[in-house]
Amino acid sequence: MGVTLKDIAAEAGVSLMTVSNVVNGKQARVSAATRERIMRIVKERGYVPSASARSLAARSSRLVGLLVPAVGESSLTIDPHTVEVVGMLERELRRLDYHLMLRGISRHGEITEALRSWNLDGAVLLGFNDVVIDRLTADDVGGVALVAMDSYSANPLALEVRSDDFGGAELATRHLVGLGHRRIAFAGPAFSATGVVRRRFEGYRKVLAEHGIAFDPDLVSEVETTHADGLAYGRRLPREHPDVTAVFTTADILAIGLIEGLAAAGRSVPGDVSVVGYDNADLAVYVTPKLTTVAQDLPGKAAEAVRLMMDRLAGKERPAQAVSLDVALIERGTAGPPPER
Amino acid sequence: MGVTLKDIAAEAGVSLMTVSNVVNGKQARVSAATRERIMRIVKERGYVPSASARSLAARSSRLVGLLVPAVGESSLTIDPHTVEVVGMLERELRRLDYHLMLRGISRHGEITEALRSWNLDGAVLLGFNDVVIDRLTADDVGGVALVAMDSYSANPLALEVRSDDFGGAELATRHLVGLGHRRIAFAGPAFSATGVVRRRFEGYRKVLAEHGIAFDPDLVSEVETTHADGLAYGRRLPREHPDVTAVFTTADILAIGLIEGLAAAGRSVPGDVSVVGYDNADLAVYVTPKLTTVAQDLPGKAAEAVRLMMDRLAGKERPAQAVSLDVALIERGTAGPPPER
DNA sequence: CATGCTAGGTTTAGCGCTATACCTTGATCG
DNA sequence: CGATCAAGGTATAGCGCTAAACCTAGCATG
């Protein structure tokens, strides 16, 4: 159906390999005249190389997998700030003439299957639990460049791109302490899921220690990264810890739920309680008051992921194993001084 | 490197074709005993079929493209309610053992290129201008099942899945009229971009007519689907049309910006002005007051897109050409009776 | 003048799989 | 009892491309 190399070769009166060389820009082997003639025919006939044939013959697919956890039969849930990374990833890869395959993973073995079946050159692991990444063996991923986002894995097979989670938490907590808060709660999902939360917790704890504020484990709550869980947490917080005047949360959506919950419990933000979010999601500015939050460098994350992957594909000697991007505190309306007493 | 059909065939002492038949579940041609023996070896050796080889030999890739506009060098911007559709699409396709390739399109020709190069079986066109879809020729898309989302194209080559935009607008407008509003504005992007906006406009207009309310073109504003543009619109609306007591918008994000703009201009929602959004995005419930909006059936959209595509791939005689899904009005806090005067 | 070298090609041998035609063997049947 | 047929396979010929080895003239070189 489609036009093939053979057709072009026949029309140009050269061998198939000459056309292949021209199409792939292998300068050395063809004269300028031949090259131009072939290129003209390629354009005219609308030749488009077959990716499967290339992948099969060249053992490289120029395909990168975007692997996302898919719990059971449920669909992928890509959170809003991840979506932006996906869009940027796609653009970077497209510039380099790579393609992106989106794949939900529900069993560990599916990672290997996806990599092998499609002969992927690389893959980006988005939102996986660290232990999933640690379980990957050289047998699984031989040859493919794996980049894990926001993980803190011990697996040398995976390149890693993340934000400075420890530093972000320091920034947020330091801001609250600077405002005069002493009873500062920490709310985020379980540590086990990802090292990210633990790093943020450690940053929080370090700043408390720096300022001689006693760490109170009761002020640390395990709250899922959802509006509903944030809401529930906000409702019970004033009852359980009336002395808390500020909360550092690990996600904007959680913070927004929290603020609504606090309001339901009769506490205003930032009048009674200050709240700091994390991620600087779009919606941070849609709520009232606008959310004070820690911003990640999303474009940087996508760019670094691609850079790391390309370095490894190029067989760079000692490519960076992990990159940590800077974060910034965005001061808006949800953090202020504690109430007078 | 990987295990191939040949390896399995050698180990099982059968021909390569027998293994191929077993792996592909072609019952007829193998005895149960042989089938089991082969399956055991396949499992043991961790055989994974090569998608490129299959695609090449079978002229079918089991790959579906997810084509999204990418303006110039910028990255894909997938709006939040689209993201959900993407996740659901992926799940549906994965269940059917298809894979999804995400591809940004910046020139029209890239659609064809993507389809041909990867030998795609089908493609979902997300967020394209109707005229882009109309320009697709049989030459471009021969054999691939194209599904366009939210388009009203005249091109019989594309299957279409959309919500009942006309009906959604009717619902919203009727709600406002029922509440007692007479001066109701319409805010949305230019009609030219997509028939969706025009259908919603027509629904709005029809309900006005039904109730004998004179249509005033001055109350129709071209506002982009962004928070910023909604905000600007909200700021100027009370000045330009102080008598407007309600606004029907074509997007939640626009509505949220609008509400903020109205607040900046000293108008409260729903006290002074009622606002109805569209899409029932997650963030509709994060803002205060929670947004009254028109909800689309997102899971239905994804499922229908896949069903339509599979029907066409299966060569169904008269597959549906377009599907329109039901919508529902979600009453929350931004629409109330007009102020007393 | 044999030798090497370079430019500009061509030939060959697959990559891993599937479609299709073909081949046995034993049972069935008019 | 020869023809027919189904079950259970096998052999062959690609799909469209690339890597790698090979070829051939024309020219410079010691």
C-beta separation of A283 from A80 below 8 A: yes
Give the whole-number percent of chain B exceeding pLDDT 90: 87
**pTM as predicted:** 0.93
Residue A141 C-beta-side C-alpha neighbours within 13 Å: 26
State the Cα–Cα distance between residues B145 and B148, nearest whole angstrom: 10
C-beta separation of A294 from A330 below 8 A: yes
C-beta separation of B249 from B230 below 8 A: yes
Q: Give the CA-to-C1' distance from A141 to C1 in angstroms.
A: 58
Residue B18: CB less than 7 A from any atom in strand D = yes
Q: From the candidates A24, A44, A68, A101, which should be mutated to test the interface with B, based on the most B CB atoms within 10 A?
A: A101
Express each pLDDT in A270-284 by its tens digit: 999 999 999 999 999
Express each pLDDT in A282-305 by its tens digit: 999 999 999 999 999 999 999 999
Query: How high is the pLDDT of residue B140?
Result: 81
User: CB under 8 Å to B98, separation ≥6 — which residues?
Assistant: B62, B63, B64, B121, B122
**Residue A287 burial by Cβ neighbours in a 10 Å radius (0-12, 13-18, 19+):** buried
Beta bridge partners, A122, equal A64, A145
Average pLDDT, chain B: 94
State the Cα–Cα distance between residues A38 and A20, nearest whole angstrom: 10
Q: From the candidates A73, A94, A287, which should be mutated to test the interface with B, based on the most B CB atoms within 10 A?
A: A94
Residue B31: CB less than 7 A from any atom in strand D = yes
| Closest Cα in chain A, distance from residue B73 (Å) | 8
Tell me which residue of A221, A233, A257 sits closest to A334, measured CA to CA: A257
User: CB under 8 Å to B273, separation ≥6 — which residues?
Assistant: B237, B238, B244, B245, B246, B247, B262, B267
Give the whole-number percent of chain B exceeding pLDDT 70: 99
Which residue among A2, A118, A282 sits closest to B51, beta carbon to beta carbon?
A: A118
Where residue A341 falls among pLDDT bands split at 50, 70, 90? low
Average pLDDT, chain A: 94
State the Cα–Cα distance between residues A279 and A267, nearest whole angstrom: 24
The amino acid occupying position B218 is D
Residue B214 scores a pLDDT above 90: yes
Residue B98 scores a pLDDT above 90: yes
| Closest Cα in chain A, distance from residue B45 (Å) | 12
Residue B317 scores a pLDDT above 80: no
User: CB under 8 Å to A309, separation ≥6 — which residues?
Assistant: A64, A122, A124, A145, A147, A159
Higher local confidence (pLDDT), B340 or B333: B333
Taking each helix axis as running N to C, give the angle between helix B252-264 and helix B227-240, from 0 to 180 degrees, rounded to the nearest 10.
50
Express each pLDDT in B169-180 by its tens digit: 999 999 999 999
Residue A34: CB less than 7 A from any atom in strand D = no
| Closest Cα in chain B, distance from residue A53 (Å) | 6
Query: How high is the pLDDT of residue A162?
Result: 96
Query: How high is the pLDDT of residue A230?
Result: 98
C-beta separation of A249 from A188 below 8 A: yes
Q: If you average pLDDT over residues B279-293, what whole number do you get?
A: 95
Residue A40 sits at the vertex; the CA angle it makes with A35 and A45, to the nearest 5 degrees, is 130
Query: How high is the pLDDT of residue A139?
Result: 81
Give the whole-number percent of chain A exceeding pLDDT 70: 99
Higher local confidence (pLDDT), B167 or A318: B167
C-beta separation of B259 from B334 below 8 A: yes
Higher local confidence (pLDDT), B193 or A218: A218
User: CB under 8 Å to A171, separation ≥6 — which residues?
Assistant: A294, A327, A328, A329
Residue B192 scores a pLDDT above 70: yes
Q: If you average pLDDT over residues A198-217, what whole number do you get?
A: 98
Go through the domains of chain A in sequence order and give each one's CATH number: 5-58 (1.10.260.40), 63-163+298-325 (3.40.50.2300), 165-296 (3.40.50.2300)
Residue A146 scores a pLDDT above 80: yes
C-beta separation of A194 from A152 below 8 A: yes
Inter-chain residue contact B117 with A51, CB threshold 8 Å: yes
Residue A317 scores a pLDDT above 70: no
Taking CA–CA distances from B74, the nearest residue in chain A reads A91
Q: Give the CA-to-C1' distance from B45 to C27 in angstroms.
A: 38
Tell me which residue of A193, A296, A189, A183 sits closest to A233, measured CA to CA: A189
**Hits for CB < 7 Å against strand D across A residues 53-72:** 53-54, 56-58
